[in-house]
Amino acid sequence: MEAKTLAARRKTTLKAIIESALRREIRPSADLENPDPSRFEVGPFGILRIRKASGTPATTMAQVSAVQEALEIEELQRITHPQRP
């Protein structure tokens, strides 16, 4: 209810306020620092990504599948054997 009142005071819609807030949240940070420019680069959306070295082979689907499987096994282990404090 307070959000609707705020929207009315600003002479806008609740949808516009929510959209503006979401855009602000996903906007790239202006103070984004690259910890190691030789290893990382800033992508088109302002997100750090690993710089691909020239001459390195492309990632294969087998490699992607292996990483996904390892992550799933790790998650299953975490779920079935939780750490007790």
- Domain definitions of the chain by residue range: 2-80
| DSSP H or E segment with residue 41 | strand 40-42
Q: Are 40 and 49 in contact (CB under 8 A)?
A: yes
Give the pLDDT of residue 31: 57
CA atoms within 13 A on the CB side of 63: 4
- For the entire predicted model, the pTM comes to 0.37
C-alpha span between 42 and 51 (Å, rounded): 9
Alpha-helical runs (H) found in the chain: 2-9, 14-26, 61-80
Mean pLDDT within 7-18: 84
Write phi, then psi, for 48 (nearest 5 degrees): -65, 140
Q: Match 């959306």 to its residue by tokens.
A: 45
pLDDT band per the 50, 70, 90 thresholds, residue 84: low
